[in-house]
Amino acid sequence: MTYSPFDLTGKVALITGGNGGIGLGMAEALAQAGADLVIWGTNPDKLAAARAKLEATGRRIRAEAVDTADEAAIEAAMDEAIAEMGRLDFVAANAGRGSRSPSFAEMDTATWHHVMALNLDGVFWTLRAACRHMAARAEAGDPGGSLLAISSTSAIHGAPANQAYAASKGALLPLVKGIAVEYARCGIRANAVLPGWTRSDMTTGLQAWDTFNKKAIGRVPMRRWGEPEDFGGIAVYLASDASRFHTGDAMVIDGGYTVY
């Protein structure tokens, strides 16, 4: 018998923000490993393009426009995804936003709440809905499942003039640890990934800024930007049986930036 711990055949994964950037990088790898997929996003053109790309793998794909800053929308979309796909084995709360202010002193309350609504509340609502499904399945005799929160290395080093973003990402770490401890009895794992500087729509402006590339990306020991596909392997690992005893962790994927 062949040992294939990374084979995701028969598993279903859901990725919020799965229509671009890190989310799509994870989704592509998961599909290639055999998983069926649900992707959520808010941009209809990007959602259609991502769906077409993922359907080329031959897997079942559900692509839906969902605002993950809306609790009711998440609850409804989660129920619909489970009804259509039959189950969810891996759920990655990836959708997020940044919002830079002139300075911390000038940051307004509306900006703070705008960022927290998606980056923290949305992750809470997404993982809670997924956890309910997985826990109910465990009670019915089918334990297991993996939850993932996409944090950021800004949770480690902060973010000047973008403190709302860093705070929202930092809050995900104790959230995940608490879930990991409480639901281990159900076979449910919960982890966080902290990406470093990665090419995405959110970092487009920085990618074109020569000074940033020289001073920040020049500090990355691997001497390059992270790419969305750099997160495919960790997604497959966390969705697979290879990580069945790995929970409550915060994994930094940053090319060595935070240790140098």
5 within domain boundaries: no
Looking at per-residue confidence, does 102 or 204 come out higher? 102
pLDDT of residue 100: 84
Q: State how far the Cα of 97 lies from the Cα of 118, in Å rounded to an integer.
A: 7
Share of the chain above pLDDT 90, in %: 92
Average pLDDT, the chain: 97
Task: Give the number of domains in the chain.
Answer: 1
CA atoms within 13 A on the CB side of 177: 8
Please say if the pLDDT value at position 1 is more than 80.
no
CB atoms within 10 A of CB 98: 17
Element (H, E) at 77: helix 71-85
Q: State how far the Cα of 81 lies from the Cα of 128, in Å rounded to an integer.
A: 15
Residues counted in the chain: 260
Provide mean pLDDT across the span 105-115: 96
B/e letters for 126-164, b = 16+ CB within 10 Å, e = fewer, are bbbbbbebbbebbeeeeeebbbbbbbbbbbbeebeebbb
pLDDT of residue 260: 84
Q: 109: closest CA among 99, 119, 123?
A: 99
Active-site annotation holder among 3, 165, 237, 257:
165
Q: State how far the Cα of 133 lies from the Cα of 145, in Å rounded to an integer.
A: 10
Strand partners, 93: 149
115 within domain boundaries: yes
Q: Known catalytic residue: 165?
A: yes
Contact yes or no for 85/143 (Cβ under 8 A) = no
pLDDT of residue 175: 99
Which CATH number belongs to the domain containing residue 149 in this structure? 3.40.50.720
3 within domain boundaries: no
4 within domain boundaries: no
260 within domain boundaries: no
Please say if the pLDDT value at position 135 is more than 80.
yes
Q: 36: closest CA among 94, 89, 92?
A: 89
Please say if the pLDDT value at position 181 is more than 90.
yes
220 within domain boundaries: yes
pLDDT in tens, 140-180: 999 999 999 999 999 999 999 999 999 999 999 999 999 99
pLDDT in tens, 51-104: 999 999 999 999 999 999 999 999 999 999 999 999 999 999 999 998 889 999
Q: State how far the Cα of 160 lies from the Cα of 154, in Å rounded to an integer.
A: 10
Q: State how far the Cα of 8 lies from the Cα of 28, in Å rounded to an integer.
A: 13
Residue ranges making up the domain that contains 119: 12-254
Q: State how far the Cα of 130 lies from the Cα of 126, in Å rounded to an integer.
A: 6
pLDDT of residue 204: 85
pLDDT in tens, 4-47: 899 999 999 999 999 999 999 999 999 999 999 999 999 999 99
215 within domain boundaries: yes
Q: State how far the Cα of 260 lies from the Cα of 255, in Å rounded to an integer.
A: 10
pLDDT of residue 201: 86
107 within domain boundaries: yes
pLDDT of residue 40: 99
